[in-house]
Structure formats: C-alpha cells, structure tokens
Amino acid sequence: MTGKSARFGMTPPTVEDIVAPGFSTPWDAPMLPPFPFKFRDCAIMTLYWRTDPDAIDFLLPPPLKRTSDIACAHIYQMNDPDWIGPYGEMNVMVGAELPGKAKGGYSPYLALSSDGGVVHGREVHGQPKKLGNPQIEARGDLLVGTVERNGIDVLTGTMAYKQHAVEASAIKPHFDFATNINLKAIDHIDGRPAIRQLTSRALTDVVIHEAWAGPCTVELRPNAQLPLFRLPVLEPLEGFFWRADFTLIAGTILHDYLETSQ
C-alpha cells in the first residue's frame, strides 16, 4: 500500500474512510462534495403562478399536505459553487407541510446542467433531478428564463429587467421555499427498498445582494420526461430576480416510510 501511495500521491481508503460520512466514489476522484459547500454569486429568477390545487395534490406524496394553490420555479445561474463549477439549475416547488414537523416547499421537478449536481441531489437529498439546460438571459429590457430538455423549452418565463427594487424578505410571499422538502427513494442492488424518506434541507449563511420584483409570465410546454405541464398556469403572478451567496449543509429526515410501515 505504501508503494501505491507514493506512486499516485494519495493514500488508499481504509474501511473507516469508506464508512465515514461524505465518502464518494470513485475514491480517487470523488463525484460528490462533502458538506458544507458554498455557492457564490448566484443569479436567481423566481416565478410564481396560480395552478390547479388537484394538480398539486396529485404530485404530493403522503402524508404531505398542500398549503396553497401556488407553484413557483427557481431558475439559477450557479456562477461559482465549490467542487461542481458553474452550471444552471431549475427547481419547481409547491407549498407543502408535514403536519406538526415541517413546512416549506416540496420539489416535484428539478433540472440542471451539471452531472455532479444531478448525482448529489438524487443520492443525498433525494431530489428528482434530471439533466437539462436552464438559463437566464437579459434581452434588452426583458429578463428571460428558459429550461430546455430534449430540445424542448419546457419552461419560458419573463419579467422586466430590474424595474422595482425590493427587500430580501419580499421574495417569499407565498411559502418559505428556503425549507426544501423531497422524497428520497433508493433501492438495494437486489431490488429491495433501501431508503424511502421525506427529507428536508435549509440553506445557511444566506446573503442576498439585490432583489427586484415585477409581474411575470410563465409558459410550460409538454415533455413526458420533464412534465412541468402537470402544474398548469392558471394565473401568472409575480416574478423576482435576485443575487445571493449561500452554503449548503446536511439536512434532516422528516419521515421514514420503512420504519413507520414495520
């Protein structure tokens, strides 16, 4: 083992290393960053719309309960995150609660342009992430957010470019999306269920450098592999464009389906 260490400039993992928190494969070029890791200079476009309450109920796993008829989509330009490098991300959320335990935003759909981000979201948080291409562009006096997958812009959102500055607290008028609830589902290699949980994570060290508000538009196009259209736009509401830094830390297990079923 000493020879291998000298040759490759690193020490092979021990059993203790493998069973320790934060371990990832391949061990000599890990895919996943350990907690905590920082995101700097993020540009975010947050779009709210009124949708069909039955559509939200269809997407919520029990025992979560709907808290409103509002959906939102965050389109991020992650300009300087640790480990993963710059990428784009979209997180669709609806207001939800686990009565007596947690209240925030449940994520039925996420898409992003980073393989590391997809893997981390699925393996650690249980987020239903898939590859896509979310972007934010300034087109003259208009901010345009798009989310492309399979050559289809499944979401197009617009709002005016920086017309009305607002306080940081204004960006969450309908539910506290800082608490993100997810359904984590992972099987053993033999097909038995290994993890069936509702998880929760919250961002820390959040610094919002600027925030702008205004009326928005949201257009959804059908795609069977990223079916955002299941949350139809009945009424577009407000949009926000904001810049922030934050840190991603370990979350919590809100509900364990396998424990409660025993």
Catalytic residues, by residue number, are 129
What does the alpha-carbon distance between residue 219 and residue 34 come to, in Å, rounded to a whole number?
Answer: 36
Which run of H or E residues covers position 19?
Answer: helix 15-19
What does the alpha-carbon distance between residue 82 and residue 223 come to, in Å, rounded to a whole number?
Answer: 32
Task: Judge contact between 88 and 78, C-beta under 8 A.
Answer: yes
Tokens of 84: 């993963």
User: Cis bond leading into 26, ω under 30°?
Assistant: yes
SS3 233: coil
Residues 6+ apart with CB under 8 A from 169: none
Residues 211, 155, 119, CA angle at the centre, nearest 5°? 85
| Phi, psi values for residue 5, rounded to 5° | -65, -45
| Phi, psi values for residue 79, rounded to 5° | -80, -25
What does the alpha-carbon distance between residue 215 and residue 244 come to, in Å, rounded to a whole number?
Answer: 21
